Amino acid sequence: MPYILSLDEGTTSARAALYDQQARRVSMAAVPIVSHFPQPGWVEQDASLIWTSQLQAVRNTLGLAAVTPNDVHAIGITNQRETTVVWDRATGQPVAPAIVWQCRRTAARCRDLSAHAAKITRKSGLVVDAYFSGTKIEWILDNVDGARAKAVNGDLLFGNIDTWLIWNLTGGRVHVTDPTNASRTMLMNLATGDWDSELLSLLNVPRAMLPAIVPSSAVIGHTDAAIIGAEIPIAGIAGDQQAALAGQACFAKGLSKNTYGTGCFALLHAGATEPVSENRLLATRAASTTKEAQFAVEGSIFIAGAAVQWLRDKLGIIDNAPESEMIAMSIPSTAGVYVVPAFVGLGAPHWDAEARAEITGLTLGSGRAEIVRATLESMAYQTRELIQAMEGDSGARLAELRVDGGAAANNFLMQFQADILDRPVVRPADLETTALGAAFLAGLATGFWKSEAEVQSFWRAERVFEPQMPTSERDTLWSGWQRAVAKARSNC
């Protein structure tokens, strides 16, 4: 029986999942990925370990389902976006650690680019920020001995994690990316879908090192049989958030989702017209299953579930993330305590690289439960900021919010989200929408599934959280949050 294999390389783990003809997940395996923090605000990962961990996850998921590589009809790939790898074309060895999307090392460089900010936003759809790959590539070329000269000669290659995995899966034969990933580099012209010469020269990135931009849903190469055991078509590529949009069956204008993972990302499908945000959201590419370009508006929050990891790993006040739900529900409110998780600055809609995290409103009565609950609530408050900005741009009120990602399993958080947003929150049966979306793109490209309509028929809601909070309470909590954010922003 044939399957679609999805590779989902996230910030905290490399996962692989197998889907059958009815888009049921038959197996899934994850291998953890470790981040390193060599300086305040810096975040790195080992690119070679990302690849070997991903390969291990593939082997594990095939083994769990007792499926051989020959049974895999096609592969879809989705990945943590913006994370930057530069490697030697001849040896395949990375020349530096992967610079992770959260890394702020190029914040000063981005301030220097402010004179060009309007042009960069107009062309790329992005707000100038250290988040995106462009200044990360420039940093590697400027800080690794001899790298710039080699890159100009085409001896070094750049890739986000999709490109890096495909290069390795194909034994170094295919160097490509897709428009959803390319639209996060600050180097692609959002309208044309091609690398932009002016942006390349502004950021000093040689064209010779860039991958070819290929469609998100098409056969772009085959795996090397020596590596994975069969020559399998690679037929889907999308950055994780655009994959989740597809996995939530949001293929048309006006549909939206919010993912609660390491960060939090709300995307609103904008159809075939390039959007322009008046509220400091990003314009980006959505994964298209046809030749026509598709766009989305995006709100990106850098720290969401990562703040829960911080409670576990740095404060040591929880043993595991799921436990946070019970602790939060053990008290009726935080009694005025707010956590603003600006550990790496604030993303949309503030874009404040200098803001720093804060716990405010502490009294002698505040303890572990208040801090845990306030941390969970911070994800919901930040999401409301994004949804308000989106609604300000589009002029339309969202009817409901479709949710996914690891922290969407938290029932307290989902109910609080519905309450603070005053909108129903809809959680699908399969929370792994990122992996599912990449599978959809590969399955649609290879005839495994026939149409978007067929794929949409697989989507099922598991639970709807209806808003229950009185308006006065919602308004009071919201004003408190806004005051707390103002304090975190004045820290610089």
**Which residues here bind ligand ADP, judged by CB under 6 A?**
10-13, 261-262, 305-306, 308-309, 321-322, 324-325, 405-407, 409-410
Q: Which is nearer to ligand ADP, 95 or 100 (CB)?
A: 100
> How many other CB atoms are found less than 10 A from the CB of residue 158?
26
**Tokens, residue 144:** 């690794």
CB neighbour list of residue 162: distance below 8 Å, 6 or more residues apart: 77, 78, 79, 177, 178, 181, 237, 239
* Cα–Cα distance for residue pair 5/25, rounded to 1 Å: 10
Q: How far is the CB of 307 from ligand ADP (least distance, A)?
A: 8
Q: How far is the CB of 285 from ligand ADP (least distance, A)?
A: 20
Q: How far is the CB of 58 from ligand ADP (least distance, A)?
A: 17
Residue 99's beta-bridge partner residues? Answer: 44, 84
Q: Which is nearer to ligand ADP, 80 or 189 (CB)?
A: 80
**Residue with the two structure tokens 């048309």:** 252
Amino acid letter, residue 188: M
Q: State the distance between the two ends of the chain, measured CA to CA, in whole angstroms.
A: 58
Residue 364 phi/psi, 5-degree rounding, is: -65, -20
* Cα–Cα distance for residue pair 282/438, rounded to 1 Å: 22
Q: Which is nearer to ligand ADP, 322 or 367 (CB)?
A: 322
* Cα–Cα distance for residue pair 218/113, rounded to 1 Å: 36
Dump strand ranges (E) for 115-271: 156-159, 176-177, 188-189, 194-195, 212-213, 217-222, 233-239, 256-260, 264-271
Nearest to 328 by CA among 364, 358, 371: 371
Q: How far is the CB of 211 from ligand ADP (least distance, A)?
A: 23
**Tokens, residue 107:** 């914040």
Q: How far is the CB of 15 from ligand ADP (least distance, A)?
A: 8
Amino acid letter, residue 297: V
* Cα–Cα distance for residue pair 132/82, rounded to 1 Å: 5
Q: How far is the CB of 83 from ligand ADP (least distance, A)?
A: 11
Q: Which is nearer to ligand ADP, 33 or 72 (CB)?
A: 33
Which residue's Cβ lies closest to ligand ADP? 406
Q: What angle do CA 378, 382, 385 make, to 5 degrees?
A: 145
Q: Which is nearer to ligand ADP, 84 or 121 (CB)?
A: 84
Q: Which is nearer to ligand ADP, 429 or 492 (CB)?
A: 429
Q: Which is nearer to ligand ADP, 119 or 312 (CB)?
A: 312
Q: How far is the CB of 309 from ligand ADP (least distance, A)?
A: 4
Q: How far is the CB of 229 from ligand ADP (least distance, A)?
A: 26
Q: How far is the CB of 321 from ligand ADP (least distance, A)?
A: 4
CB neighbour list of residue 302: distance below 8 Å, 6 or more residues apart: 102, 131, 263, 343, 344, 345, 346, 347
Q: Which is nearer to ligand ADP, 101 or 195 (CB)?
A: 101
Q: Which is nearer to ligand ADP, 282 or 328 (CB)?
A: 328
* Helix segments in 125-247, DSSP class H: 133-143, 147-152, 161-169, 179-182, 197-202, 225-228, 240-247
